[in-house]
Chains A and B, each alone.
Chain A
Amino acid sequence: MGIFRRKSAPRITREQVMNTRPIRNPAIEVTHAENGEVSLKLPRRRVWWINLLARLGGVPEYRILTLDRVGSSVWELCDGEHTVRDLISLLASEHKLSRKEAELSMVSYLRQLAQRGVVALAVESKELAHE
């Protein structure tokens, strides 16, 4: 049943993930606190059921996400220039983490940011291999 077949997601290897460049979402309002922490103003998701809830008055238009000092410094480096590998080595050297530990932390943190739409992860198209 070809018409119902879902397009398979591109397979990304570990090496490709490491070469990915996180980019901040320019549509998000950012506030810098004095202690170096960053607050992000996230607009609510525009899907029908959230829109419905919002009409009933249950969902605010914006949500504030405050990143801690470490998270804020990573956020600042998500400029499309640094790769995930760069971010991992910077995190590891700055906070005396082991490579594996820094990798686990960074990947899960970036995944969370990407799921919230705060950052996009740019992968070079020639690197993507479709199944």
Chain B
Amino acid sequence: MVSGSTGYAFLGWQGWGLEHPADWELTRVRGSRRESYLALDDGERIRLEMSWKPVRRKLPLEKLVEKQVKAVELAARGRKLDVRIRRRQGIRRLAGFQYECFTWQTGVPKRGVPKPDEVGLGSPESRLGAPDVGSCELVARCRDCGRVILLRVVGDKDRPPMEEARRVFASLTCYSGKEFERWGTFGLDVKVPAGFELEGSSLRTGMCELVFSDRRTELHVMRVSLGRAILERQKMVAWYESVASQLLKPFVVTWSERPFRFHIGHAGVGEVRTRYRLMSVFRSTRKLSVRLFYCEPMDKIFVVAADGSGDVDKVVETALEGLVCHR
């Protein structure tokens, strides 16, 4: 996702995937695979909100939608706003889901104009307070995993978000039961083998990192910006050894040059140092496999590393195959 680019970008998180306008970026995320919330903004305001949780399969979708519509009406009443809700809006067929789409539009407040602080800027999870806001919402239940997702695309009064919403909703995918899960945010787009769960994520200056784990292996996927500036100062391997010193500490790593998709790249294989092996007899089968490469068109360094007692090489190769760098 390159700044200033037009078109759509991919967001993949906790088994969900969708496309969104490229200038919307992840701004808020919390929760787990089971139950979570995330939001994307366009630099000015929240544009897309997603929240999901498991709901009893017996509970009909109709009831869930009614509940959501009531919540919208109640929130509008609380803010003394008129709200127009239109249910059963048409969108392209979503395979694998039970779903309904509805839209709402708030009118001019009945009593006075709310101050900016009162219109939800401080609380992006409740956009309804804004007098100039309309929204398209999708309530969908995945037939495989049973999770129910609420997607909300927020627009303006003079710019209904229907066009974006249709595209976003139509691209919704759930990766439950598939061989891999696609994760994507801030220009990092990778397919992670099924069974790995997110352990941690971080966005620091120029660095986006996702850490996954199954019981035997930990998988680190990293995308680092300003690659050219970094590589002007030091070699790629030396840079990585300084950045990932904690991860590499228990290992003796042997590096070799290995290009990846015509990019300059390196592969590292790590064996546990003798003293660590003596200290931890049961983890003697622990290994490390690292691949790093520099994608020149994107000016980014990508790192995929797996550490554990599983087949780390296979995990790294699978993740690498599904890694998207330049298009």
Shortest distance in angstroms between A64's beta carbon and chain B's nearest beta carbon?
A: 18
A27 to B161, CA, bound (A): 51
A101 to B4, CA, bound (A): 13
A104 to B233, CA, bound (A): 23
A101 interface neighbour in B23, B186, B233, Cβ under 8 Å: B186
Name, among A68, A93, A97, A108, the residue most crowded by chain B CB atoms within 10 Å (CB to CB): A97
Digitize A92-112: 1 where CB-to-B-CB distance is under 8 Å, 0 elsewhere: 110111111111110011000
Digitize A72-114: 1 where CB-to-B-CB distance is under 8 Å, 0 elsewhere: 0000000000000000010011011111111111001100000
With an 8 A cutoff between CB atoms, is A70 at the interface? yes
Shortest distance in angstroms between A129's beta carbon and chain B's nearest beta carbon?
A: 11
Interface class of chain A by DSSP: helix
A104 to B206, CA, bound (A): 9
Q: Are A70 and B229 in contact (CB under 8 A)?
A: yes
Shortest distance in angstroms between B229's beta carbon and chain A's nearest beta carbon?
A: 5
Q: Are A96 and B25 in contact (CB under 8 A)?
A: no
Known A95-B226, A95-B229, A98-B3; judge A104-B300 contact (CB<8 A).
no
Q: Find chain B residues with CB under 8 A from A109 CB.
A: 205
Known A68-B233, A92-B3, A102-B3; judge A97-B298 contact (CB<8 A).
no
With an 8 A cutoff between CB atoms, is B100 at the interface? no
Q: Which residue of B lies closest to A70 (CB)?
A: B229
Q: Find chain B residues with CB under 8 A from A95 CB.
A: 225-226, 229, 299
Q: Which residue of B lies closest to A103 (CB)?
A: B43
With an 8 A cutoff between CB atoms, is A116 at the interface? no
Known A70-B226, A93-B3, A104-B205; judge A98-B299 contact (CB<8 A).
no
Known A70-B226, A99-B23; judge A104-B203 contact (CB<8 A).
yes
Q: Which residue of A lies closest to B44 (CB)?
A: A15
With an 8 A cutoff between CB atoms, is B163 at the interface? no
Shortest distance in angstroms between B117's beta carbon and chain A's nearest beta carbon?
A: 10
Shortest distance in angstroms between B322's beta carbon and chain A's nearest beta carbon?
A: 21
With an 8 A cutoff between CB atoms, is A32 at the interface? no
Interface class of chain B by DSSP: loop
Residue pairs across A and B with CB atoms within 8 Å: the count is 56
Q: Are B206 and A100 in contact (CB under 8 A)?
A: no
Shortest distance in angstroms between A16's beta carbon and chain B's nearest beta carbon?
A: 13
Within 8 A of A (CB), among B1-32: 1-4, 23, 25-27
Shortest distance in angstroms between A70's beta carbon and chain B's nearest beta carbon?
A: 5
Question: What class of interface size applies to chain A in its complex with B?
Answer: 10 to 19
With an 8 A cutoff between CB atoms, is A63 at the interface? no
Digitize B173-209: 1 where CB-to-A-CB distance is under 8 Å, 0 elsewhere: 0000000000000110000000000000001111010
Q: Are B299 and A100 in contact (CB under 8 A)?
A: no
Q: Are A98 and B187 in contact (CB under 8 A)?
A: yes
With an 8 A cutoff between CB atoms, is B232 at the interface? yes
A121 to B27, CA, bound (A): 25
Q: Find chain B residues with CB under 8 A from A96 CB.
A: 2-3, 225, 298-300
Q: Are B43 and A101 in contact (CB under 8 A)?
A: no
B203 interface neighbour in A68, A93, A101, Cβ under 8 Å: A101
With an 8 A cutoff between CB atoms, is A45 at the interface? no
Q: Find chain A residues with CB under 8 A from B27 CB.
A: 100
Known A92-B3, A93-B4; judge A98-B186 contact (CB<8 A).
yes
Q: Find chain A residues with CB under 8 A from B206 CB.
A: 97, 101, 105
Q: Are B225 and A100 in contact (CB under 8 A)?
A: no
A39 to B83, CA, bound (A): 59
Q: Are A68 and B3 in contact (CB under 8 A)?
A: no
List 14 interface pairs A-B (beta carbons < 8 Å), by A numbering.
A70-B229, A89-B3, A92-B3, A95-B225, A96-B299, A97-B3, A98-B2, A98-B3, A101-B205, A101-B225, A102-B3, A104-B203, A104-B205, A105-B206
Question: Which 10 A-B pairs give the minimum distances between C-beta atoms?
Answer: A92-B3, A100-B25, A105-B205, A96-B299, A99-B3, A70-B229, A97-B225, A98-B3, A98-B1, A95-B226
With A96-B2, A98-B186, A100-B26 known, 11 other A-B pairs at CB within 8 A are: A95-B226, A97-B3, A97-B206, A98-B2, A98-B25, A98-B187, A99-B3, A99-B23, A99-B25, A100-B186, A101-B225
